[in-house]
Amino acid sequence: MSRLLSVLIVLALIVVVGGAAFLATWDMPAPSKTVERVIPDDRFPR
C-alpha cells in the first residue's frame, strides 16, 4: 500500500511541476480588443 501511495504522490508532483513549467513558458497573447466605457460624472465626488 505504501508503494502505491508513493507512486501516486510522485505522479501528482510531476503533474504539478509540469503544469507550473507550462504556465511559466506559455506565451499567452495579449488581448487586442479595445474597451471603452462611459463613466457618469455623478460617480465622482467634488
- pLDDT tens by residue, 2-16: 999 999 999 999 999
Q: What pTM, to 2 d.p., does this model score?
A: 0.58
pLDDT at position 6: 96
Domain residue ranges of the chain, discontinuous segments joined by +? 1-25
Report the run of H or E that residue 12 belongs to, with start and end.
Answer: helix 2-25
Distance of alpha carbon 42 from alpha carbon 45, whole angstroms: 7
What burial letters (b/e) apply to 23-38, b meaning 16+ CB within 10 Å? Answer: eeeeeeeeeeeeeeee
pLDDT at position 31: 85
Distance of alpha carbon 12 from alpha carbon 8, whole angstroms: 6
Distance of alpha carbon 28 from alpha carbon 26, whole angstroms: 6
